[in-house]
Amino acid sequence: SVESLIFEKGAPGRRAVRLPAMDVPTESLDELIPASLIRQEAATLPEVSEIEVVRHYTHLSQRNFGVDSGFYPLGSCTMKYNPKINEDMAGLPGFARIHPLQPANTVQGAIQLIYELEQYLAEISGMARVTLQPSAGAHGELTGLMLIKAYHQSRGEGHRNLVLIPDNAHGTNPASATLADYKAVEIKSDDKTGGIDMEHLRTVLAAHGTNVAAIMLTNPNTLGLFDSNIAEIGRLVHEVGGQLYYDGANANAVLGITRPGDMSFDVVHFNLHKTCSTPHGGGGPGAGPIGVKAHLVPFLPGPLPAKNDDGYYWQDAGPQSIGKVRANLGNFGVLVRAYTYIRSNGPDGLKHVSESAILNANYLKHELSKDYEIAYPYICQHEFVATAQWQKDQSGVTALDIAKRLLDFGMYAPTTYFPLIVHEALMIEPTETETRETLDEFVKVMRQIAEEARTEPEVVKTAPHTTVIGRLDQALAARKPNLRWQPGQELTHA
Amino acid sequence: SVESLIFEKGAPGRRAVRLPAMDVPTESLDELIPASLIRQEAATLPEVSEIEVVRHYTHLSQRNFGVDSGFYPLGSCTMKYNPKINEDMAGLPGFARIHPLQPANTVQGAIQLIYELEQYLAEISGMARVTLQPSAGAHGELTGLMLIKAYHQSRGEGHRNLVLIPDNAHGTNPASATLADYKAVEIKSDDKTGGIDMEHLRTVLAAHGTNVAAIMLTNPNTLGLFDSNIAEIGRLVHEVGGQLYYDGANANAVLGITRPGDMSFDVVHFNLHKTCSTPHGGGGPGAGPIGVKAHLVPFLPGPLPAKNDDGYYWQDAGPQSIGKVRANLGNFGVLVRAYTYIRSNGPDGLKHVSESAILNANYLKHELSKDYEIAYPYICQHEFVATAQWQKDQSGVTALDIAKRLLDFGMYAPTTYFPLIVHEALMIEPTETETRETLDEFVKVMRQIAEEARTEPEVVKTAPHTTVIGRLDQALAARKPNLRWQPGQELTHA
Amino acid sequence: MSYVPNTQEEQEAMLAHLGFSSLEDLLTPVPEEVRLRRPLDLPAALSEPDLKRLMGAMAAKNKHTESTISFLGAGSYDHAIPSVVTHLQRRSEFVTSYTPYQPEVSQGMLQATYEFQTMVCQITGMDVANASLYDGSTALVEAVLMALGPGGRGEIVISAAVDPQYRRVLQTYAFARGFAIKEVGIENGLTSLSELKSIVGPQTTAVVIQQPNFFGNIEDVHAIEPVAHQGKTLFITAITEPASLGLIAPPGSYNVDIAVGELMSFGNSMSYGAPALGFIASKQKFMRLLPGRLVGQTVEEGGKKQTGYVLTLQTREQHIRRERATSNICTNQSLLAVGATIYMAALGKQGFRELAELCLQKAHYAFKQITAIPGFEPAFTAPFFDEFVIKAPVSASKVEKQLEQAGLIGGYDLSESYPGMDNAILFCVTETRTKEDIDLLVKVLKEVQA
Amino acid sequence: MSYVPNTQEEQEAMLAHLGFSSLEDLLTPVPEEVRLRRPLDLPAALSEPDLKRLMGAMAAKNKHTESTISFLGAGSYDHAIPSVVTHLQRRSEFVTSYTPYQPEVSQGMLQATYEFQTMVCQITGMDVANASLYDGSTALVEAVLMALGPGGRGEIVISAAVDPQYRRVLQTYAFARGFAIKEVGIENGLTSLSELKSIVGPQTTAVVIQQPNFFGNIEDVHAIEPVAHQGKTLFITAITEPASLGLIAPPGSYNVDIAVGELMSFGNSMSYGAPALGFIASKQKFMRLLPGRLVGQTVEEGGKKQTGYVLTLQTREQHIRRERATSNICTNQSLLAVGATIYMAALGKQGFRELAELCLQKAHYAFKQITAIPGFEPAFTAPFFDEFVIKAPVSASKVEKQLEQAGLIGGYDLSESYPGMDNAILFCVTETRTKEDIDLLVKVLKEVQA
């Protein structure tokens, strides 16, 4: 089944929206805009009626899988349940329909929410202050590195140009380092523990310590393992004058258990769309607030929320501030949802979130270990990495094949081929919001797939079989990119 | 694929909703309620978490077809597009969250809306006043018959005990007559015109005129044909002292074109969920306001909205009122949607609704006439009746089979086997909100089915093939009724 | 705003294809003598933004329960609606579908309705339930009609402690259908047992009470039941406040034949009182007499014999049985039933009881505080659930006005329906009222006193 | 409120199954020295009703555009959102999905994004567009980084008539990345052409303007373009008010290399300014340098060779290319892009132009009425779209306060960003403002005068 493009629907003159009638005296267009600056050809937007709009996008939604549709064990992405109350709160006209430049006295509730959310996140992360400005995790990373750069420069150490990044880090880490004009230096993982190779770290620090601006870590790391050397790592990096950056992508494992600040990190970002249950929206919006220790506060982007006897207000950034990293004040709609979530859970609830996420991951790891190689067979935290190595060796069935086959059972697939240091990786993060029955069902399906890989591998290699469309030709898409519809375009490849 | 029952999910102690904490001093239950009146066994409601509730009912919705999913040519049901603004207006807290017993000065907007809607419906129907109290079309019918009864009684003609109903009428008409303690008398249709058999009507009136309380008609009738004898029918019935009741189920054909009041009807009901685009909600809620001529106004149920210099208020019914036909004031949430619709369309828009509905029906009738017998090959109004007679004669393919086969193409089925006077009836009402492309697609599919009926009838007889479930055993359902789940129940028939 | 998709050009092309030259050509079957030859006299069409502004202003003229503290119950109860209920209930596949005549593409609505029928049985303790009725009052009518049977003659005995609106509706139907009604008076806010005994006799078709009754009081159903069950009389109970069933003995436990009531307050917005959600449930033996839709479980005819759901026992219904149907019901309240089903699933076994506890305790706290104010007396001493009657030192309307000035909406003025009950106010306190709200009410009432 | 489904008993059973006795056992990898051994210092958990009450009260402290007449624009525009947009955008299959890594079950989001990319091209007249970026300001940064290329050194020339916030953000990135920025001054509310000519040289990597610019004025892009295109310099245009594209020549028509901007106001709520919806579109030749996600059309590998959609050219991206990626972008604004796509589909070809006409005419009506008030002078004589600058007789903050007292929210005080522009107010009038609203503004401004 195919749903044609909205551009292929409708007919000339059709329309959905009717605009209000012109209620002011009008002037001729020519008198208002010089002829050369007037648009000559109308934009070729669709000409469709309201019912066509409704059916088309309803059909598209029906061709999409979300957390509400079923299990979504996408490692590192924390696809937890998105509470509906979050949406309702963000939709209140008093939150949804306010302008970013309104005078502070007309948005006291909004600034209060931001002010309080900053305090909650500071407490959760063990940091001095938090800015809610960054739009996403990667944006937070970049902002954090800018702060570190400004900090070093302020101390006359502007020459520090290296950022250390483990080989199993998220791709955003090295990309952010580049964007901040740093050189990324890869730190090896310890083959055995899955943590930082301490010897390698010491060697790098010894050789380049005076040029090290920072190390970027996530803990638990992308293998789902808590690096128990964290305090020592902190001491070593701080000793050479480097800063510690905490990639908060895996923060769903540490709420109320440990805090980046207590782990000696200087900067931390949150992915509120992961940890605080705001919906991922098909790829965004997210929000990537960053928290910093006191010595970095002067460099934070501004303005920051403040409070005095008259109420809440926005305080301009000080002279050392890096400036702004985006227009306006941060992804407020996302922040309202995160605020709702934190207030819904409270301190005990948040700790229980992480404990339960860890339990669910360990349960799955245990149950899958008979049929799949587990990359690091230790107690994991919120996620773990299984592999398709046994299957690949046996019958050529790959992690990709297994991912595709899972789709046939009404489940989304784990993250595949990441982290890069694990071959045929299947990175699995169940989250705390899944029931034991769902985990058991996943195990059952994974077991069946393992069995199929042994007995009828073609079934797996040609999966999926029950989805609205089969595997797509990625090579063709990249070789002959077709990124937009053109009037008169045939379905290029059909 | 099967979605298990909510009762089969969850686990002891699980829950979704958390209630607010008890914030008042409590007393022991025993002191407040006598022991014998306390519930002994807890109701065995589900024990499920929020994510289980969400996925379960999301899955159920995905197993359901609505107008937003595709074409829904269900004759007599007017499955037109349900505008989304209607929902938003009904959801405004000022409309959605008000109590029916609030003092009038705290609900001025609500009474105003009802007051104005009554005026609009009176104008549309050509009636003196309208009550918005009845909950649905059938409820309106019954209310109308009660008014007629009260009217006759007030004139000392309480003996009138017959209600004339054409043989092609909706089933609610005779059922309502019975409920109002009338005897339904069937009036034949004219085989040729599809309208009332005037000779039969005259005969019945001549024989029983003094006992006739009313005649119930819909015009256009259930064949989609406008009975052009309507004025004469009115004269004949009025002559013997009977009243004319207009079943508004087909009012989508007459907006701004003709009015029941002008057609000599004394009472009319609206199906706002048909004519005024309020959603059918899987079977309800609807709303069935009735309009009446001046002589019936004193009998209307109360209270009725009124207005004076202080604003809007509720006026108690007078001494001749039949009373109330339901608690509170009518399906207000539905009324808000209908009000929105009428204001959206305006007078020209409403007329265009009916004209377009008629055009779409005639277009479909014309296009289908090569492959299907058309019961009455005249200009139809908003709907028409095709039949599967040719297919049945040829290969045994029935109207039911054709209906089921349509489901395979992502379309809902027409109404089948109604009206009863047409064999193998397929009653088709496209409504005005369908595009020409959708009509053409339906024609294409119907043509394909006709072709299949000729060449491979088994495909049609065993349809549907692509739905989540195949044809269900209706006989078993009726023979061994299983109307509820019981703890420990196996899937009875699985 | 027009929702007709086809443009004038397209319509003209379609007409030409049919051999017509104008839309008017299609109206020839409508005789000139009944044609409307002027535009309807209605306000001109409005664009969406204009209409939203207009209707937003109308809505803003209404005080609503999100912005106003209210103590009104009397048949319509303010229970909080969890966000999850509305999100799921509003899925367009539910909202824009019709009566599930084609079960193969309607399993969602059918299964949800089967779950609804089950939950109604679970909370009421009855054997079977239907798919919903218009509201509690018409559900009561349907129960009475079931008891009366074909022909509809007989005598119904109903307690005066049943919601006055329900009784008024029953009167209307009695007029049309031709049955008799006798009312039983009240003693201490309860159905008078002695009067009931004296009224019920061989001529009685059914006895109707409400539990808790209109005053919020809990009837002694164990004393009433044997009286109600004399001879072949059926015992019907109406329940308007379903939260009570979390703590109070359900009709199934005291031998009720038919239980009816109102479930709108479970997951559906109050909307000025309607659309509402009537339910009807009965003993197994009355199953085939039930009005309205019934959903049953069955299996596929062929294939994998998967379990599925269908409308069943349709030979009871108007579209099959016509004048001999058990009822004229066609439209019901399916979408509200879906809301109530999701609500009850979300509330769950524990939550259902906790809800009742909150209502009970908050109402009793309010009762204590109010009756501690000099001049405000309890009207009755009977046990109650989350509503109670207070005799005020001044008229109810006077009290109401003072509460309004303080931004509150007070209770229901009983003198409106019970002549002689002057100064009597029916207060309702559900779980949506906080201690703070109650204390504010008490504070204002104290000032009334002064 | 907890969203953990498994009960304590179930968790204990799971632990036992794994051979552990408590949840704490699973935390042994976390060294004691970094463990938090006290509860987080956060407010206690709240039930849904309590939280709704609390947050409802916070929201009620904000004046919003449904209840207040506002003339604020300056980068964030109040365009009406048709009901249909929000209903469809909120479908949970869109909302709760993630980046469509598995296209077989993500065709909906992929196709919607492909449609978004197409519509961005349609309205801007550019060749290719990506799947969205955080906001207009960061989209501008990405365009500049594209122009700078790997290494990121070079000199960017930017008009002072570009949104001050965008310029501030660019400064921040310039600091981090190490490129230079030169600003071109303003003449009569437009980019000074003479100054531009004098600044642009062989060292210039890109020239950045905004159209209409921050003052609402329409730049003479045909005069700017040849200057901006000297040597290998790229010409970048930012568009913050997309409604302007319905009437004003789009970037594709004046040889722009990269167009960026903000589409939040198309179908998405303003939400205090964000989440926003940055877009970036370019000439075909820069396709492989684009940052962020791109969706491409392709076909099934086998089977029926059905048309489908995938994320493509991913080798540009951080998760593949890591430190050599074109950008560090991972999360984008997909759900807002879906909203904008539905909005543009609903608005359609005709509506898009009509929207622009409404904005243009209403703004000019307001401009005429305001400048007719003695003391209120037009700041510039340049042509403008739906924003304009007025020089008031008193300070902008004084005007603002008086408007506030009348229940209005006035324009933007330009002295906040443009030192020296005292008493200058930037007013915005979109299609959501009625004549009545404008006349009220004028009435109040007259009183300011008095």
Alpha-carbon gap: C309 to the closest alpha carbon of chain B (Å): 8
DSSP D45: P
Distance separating alpha carbons of residues B214 and B245, to the nearest angstrom: 7
| Encoded amino acid at B423, one letter | H
Q: What is the dihedral of CA B343, B344, B350, B354, to 10 degrees?
A: -140
Host H or E run for residue D391: strand D387-391
A430 occurs within a structural domain: no
In this structure, are residues C277 and C251 in contact, taking their beta carbons and an 8 Å threshold? no
Bridge partners of residue B298, in order along the sequence: none
Nearest CA in chain D to C79: D49
Nearest to D432 among C49, C80, C87 (CB): C49
Would you say residue B424 lies in a domain? yes
Which domain range does residue B221 map to?
87-345
- Return the residue in D7, D40, D287 with the most chain A beta carbons within 10 A, the one to mutate for interface testing: D40
A156 occurs within a structural domain: yes
Co-location of B264 and B311 in the same domain: yes
- Asked if C116 and C338 touch (Cβ cutoff 8 Å), the reply is yes
Smallest CA–CA distance, residue A366 to chain B, in Å, is 22
Check if B84 contacts D (Cβ < 8 Å): yes
Asked if the C-beta of A145 comes within 8 angstroms of chain D's C-beta atoms, the answer is yes
Whole-number Å distance between alpha carbons of A271 and A278 = 9
What's the pLDDT at C304?
87
Residue B492 — pLDDT band, cuts 50, 70, 90? very low
Residues in contact with A444: Cβ distance below 8 Å, sequence separation at least 6, in sequence order: none
Q: Which of A14, C57, A52 minimizes the C-alpha distance to D84?
A: A52
Same domain, B257 and B357: no
Q: What is the pLDDT of residues B218-254, one digit of tens each?
A: 999 999 999 999 999 999 999 999 999 999 999 999 9
Structure tokens at B67: 């107008």
Q: Is D62 close to A95, i.e. CB distance below 8 A?
A: yes
What is the number of structural domains in chain B? Answer: 3
Among the partner residues A47, A220, A482, nearest to D349 by beta-carbon distance: A47
Q: Is residue B41 part of a domain?
A: yes
Q: What's residue B152's pLDDT?
A: 98
Q: Do A90 and B121 form a contact (C-beta atoms < 8 A)?
A: no
In terms of domains, do B91 and B201 share one? Answer: yes
B153 and B252: one domain? yes
For residue C28, the chain B residue with the least C-alpha distance is B379
Interface check for D332 against chain A (CB to CB < 8 A): the answer is: yes
Taking a C-beta distance cutoff of 8 angstroms, is the pair A374, A390 a contact? no
Listed by number, the residues of chain B in 166-195 with a beta carbon closer than 8 Å to a beta carbon of chain C are 170-172, 174-181, 184
Measured CA to CA in angstroms, residue C202 lies from C198, C209, C255 at distances of 11, 18, 19
Does B245 reside within a domain? Answer: yes
HSE-CB for B469 with a 13 A CA cutoff:
29
Interface subset of D 392-431, CB within 8 angstroms of C? 431
A383 near A80, Cβ under 8 Å?
Answer: no
pLDDT truncated to tens, each residue of chain A (494 aa)? Answer: 789 999 999 999 999 999 999 999 999 999 999 999 999 999 999 999 999 999 999 999 999 999 999 999 999 999 999 999 999 999 999 999 999 999 999 999 999 999 999 999 999 999 999 999 999 999 999 999 999 999 999 999 999 999 999 999 999 999 999 999 999 999 999 999 999 999 999 999 999 999 999 999 999 999 999 999 999 999 999 999 999 999 999 999 999 999 999 999 999 999 999 999 999 999 999 999 999 999 999 999 999 999 999 999 999 999 999 999 999 999 999 999 999 999 999 999 999 999 999 999 999 999 999 999 999 999 999 999 999 999 999 999 999 999 999 999 999 999 999 999 999 999 999 999 999 999 999 999 999 999 999 999 999 999 999 999 999 999 999 999 999 999 877 554 44
Whether residues B30 and B179 fall in one domain: no
Examine the pLDDT at C319 and tell me if it is beyond 90: no
Instruction: Please tell me if residue D415 touches chain A, with a CB cutoff of 8 Å.
Output: no
pLDDT score recorded for residue A468: 95
Residue D267 Cα distances to A471, D74, D87, D335, angstroms: 33, 18, 11, 11
Phi, psi of B146 (to 5 degrees): -65, -40
Mark whether B163 and B19 lie in a shared domain. Answer: no
Cross-chain residue pair B84–D3, CB shorter than 8 Å: no
In this predicted structure, what is the pLDDT of residue B489?
73
Strands of B72-177 (E only): list them: 129-131, 162-166
Backbone φ and ψ for B445, nearest 5 degrees, come out as -65, -45
D49 vs chain C: nearest CA distance in angstroms?
A: 7
In a domain, A199, yes or no: yes
The answer to whether D425 touches D396, Cβ cutoff 8 Å, is: yes
Q: Is residue B321 part of a domain?
A: yes
Q: Is A408 on the interface with B (CB under 8 A)?
A: no
Distance from CA of D112 to the nearest CA of C (A): 19
Q: Taking CB atoms and an 8 Å limit, are D7 and B13 in contact across chains?
A: yes
Q: How many helices (H) and strands (E) does chain A have?
A: 16, 13
Section D265-277 average pLDDT:
97
Contact B153, B162 (CB under 8 A): no
Under 8 Å CB-to-CB from C37, ≥6 apart: which residues?
Answer: none
C residues 68-127 closer than 8 Å to A (CB):
82-84, 86-87, 92
Nearest to D59 by CA among A115, A97, A285: A97
* B33 lies in the same domain as B95: no
Q: Do A21 and C47 touch (CB under 8 A)?
A: yes
3-state percent breakdown (helix, strand, coil) of chain A, nearest 5: 40, 10, 45
CB-CB contact of D377 with D390 (8 Å): yes
- Cβ–Cβ gap A436/D221 under 8 Å: no
- How many A/B residue pairs have CB atoms within 8 Å? 49
D13 shares contact with chain B (CB less than 8 Å): no
* pLDDT tens sequence across B462-478: 999 999 999 999 999 99
C255 shares contact with chain B (CB less than 8 Å): no
Quickly count: other Cβ atoms within 10 Å of residue B11's Cβ. 17
Q: Chain B contact for C308, CB < 8 A?
A: yes
> At CA B93, angle to CA B87 and CA B94, rounded to 5?
105
Out of B9, B69, B436, name the one closest to residue A58 (CB): B69
- Nearest by Cα to A280 from B290, D435, D338: D338
Mutate to test the interface with D, among C46, C53, C65, C94 (most CBs of D within 10 A): C53
Q: Within a domain: residue A458?
A: no
Cross-chain CB nearest to D80 (options C49, C87, C92): C49
Measured distance CA(B145)–CA(B267) in Å, rounded: 9
How many Å apart are CA A332 and CA A330, to the nearest integer?
Answer: 6
CATH number of the domain to which A174 belongs: 3.40.640.10
Question: pLDDT band at C450, cuts 50/70/90?
Answer: low
Q: C253 to each of B41, B457, C114, C218, C263, how far by Cα in Å?
A: 10, 55, 22, 15, 20
What pLDDT is stored for residue B490 in this prediction? 59
Contact A284 D132 (CB under 8 A): yes
End-to-end CA distance of chain D: 56
Beta carbons of C47 and A19 less than 8 Å apart: yes
The answer to whether the Cβ–Cβ distance between C48 and D82 falls below 8 Å is: yes
- Judged by a CB distance cut-off of 8 A, whether residue A423 touches chain D is no
CA distance C126 to C124: 5
Sheet of strand B267-269: strand arrangement: B129-131, B290-292, B267-269, B243-246, B212-217, B162-166, B183-187
Instruction: Residue B309: count other Cβ atoms within 10 Å of its Cβ.
Output: 4
Scan for tokens 């375009």, then name that residue. A489
Tokens 């949150």 correspond to what residue? A270
Tell me which residue of B245, B294, B225, B65 sits closest to B137, measured CA to CA: B245
User: Are B20 and D1 inside 8 Å of each other by CB?
Assistant: no
**What pLDDT, in 10s, does the model give residues D382-419?**
999 999 999 999 999 999 999 999 999 999 999 999 99
Read off the pLDDT band of C320 (50, 70, 90): confident
Residues in chain A closer than 8 A to C84 (CB atoms): 83-85
Q: Which chain D residues contact residue A171 at CB under 8 A? A: 317-322, 325, 330
Write out residues 445-484 of B within 8 Å (CB-CB) of C: 462, 464, 467-474, 476-478, 481-484
Q: Estimate to the nearest angstrom the gap between the alpha carbon of C20 and the chain centroid.
A: 50
- Give the pLDDT of residue D326: 83
Residues 48-77 of D with CB under 8 A from B: 48-50
D345 and A45: CB-CB below 8 Å? yes
Whole-number Cα distances in Å, B422 to B388, B418, B427, D243: 10, 7, 10, 56
Q: What is the distance between the alpha carbons of residues D323 and D326, in angstroms, rounded to a whole number?
A: 9
Which residue is associated with the tokens 């090569």? B370
In the numeric block, the tokens 């919903």 are attached to C132
Q: B84 contacts in A (CB within 8 Å)? A: 54
What is the phi/psi pair of residue A394, to 5°? Answer: -75, -50
Query: Tokens representing B118?
Result: 């009554």
pLDDT at D327 exceeding the cut of 60: yes
Q: Which amino acid would we find at residue A304? A: L
Q: What is the pLDDT of residues D78-93, one digit of tens each?
A: 999 999 999 999 999 9
Q: Would the ipTM clear 0.90, i.e. be above it?
A: yes
Q: What percent of chain B has pLDDT over 70?
A: 99
Contact A69 B58 (CB under 8 A): yes
Q: Please tell me if residue A103 touches chain C, with a CB cutoff of 8 Å.
A: no
A69 in contact with C, Cβ within 8 Å: no
Q: How far apart are CA D216 and CA D211, in angstroms?
A: 8
User: Any residues with CB less than 8 A from the CB of C181 and at least 6 apart, and which?
Assistant: C155, C156, C157, C158, C167, C170, C171, C174
Backbone angles phi, psi at A203, to 5 degrees: -60, -50
**Rounded distance between C-alpha atoms, residue D432 and residue D429, angstroms:** 8
Q: Which member of B49, B51, B81 has the closest CB to residue A50?
A: B81
Q: Say whether residue A441 is in contact with chain B using an 8 A CB cutoff.
A: no
**Phi and psi torsions of B451, nearest 5°:** -65, -45
| Phi then psi dihedrals of residue B427, to 5 deg | -95, 120
Indicate the pLDDT class of residue C1, thresholds 50, 70 and 90.
Answer: confident
pLDDT for the residue numbered A490: 59
Contact B424, B398 (CB under 8 A): yes
Nearest to B358 by CA among B383, B386, B385: B383
pLDDT, average across residues B124-146: 97
Distance of CA C405 to the CA centre of its chain: 30
CATH code of B414's domain: 3.90.1150.10
- Chain centroid to CA D141: 13
Does the beta carbon of B272 lie under 8 angstroms from any beta carbon of chain C? no
Q: Judge if B353 and B306 occupy the same domain.
A: no
Chains that touch D (3 or more CB pairs under 8 A): A, B, C
As a whole number, the mean pLDDT across chain C is 96
Q: Would you give the distance in Å from CA C414 to the centre of its chain?
A: 20
Q: From C307, C116, C338, A407, select the one nearest B4 (Cα to Cα).
A: C307
Q: What is the pLDDT of residue A260?
A: 98
Confidence bin at B255 (pLDDT 50/70/90): very high
* B131 CB within 8 Å of a chain C CB: no
Inter-axis angle of helices A84-91 and D48-60, nearest 10:
20
Instruction: Say if residues D141 and D278 touch (Cβ distance below 8 Å).
Output: no
Distance CA C230, CA C228 (A): 6
Q: Cα–Cα distance between D206 and B394 in angstroms, integer?
A: 76
Q: Is C21 exposed, middle or buried (0-12, 13-18, 19+ CB in 10 A)?
A: exposed
**What structural domains does chain C harbor?**
69-79+348-449 (3.90.1150.10), 83-343 (3.40.640.10)
Nearest to B284 by CA among B331, B345, B250: B331
Residue A169 is given by DSSP the state S
Element of type H or E holding C191 = strand C190-191
Residue found under tokens 């009912």:
B57
Nearest by CB to A67, from D96, D313, D332: name it. D96
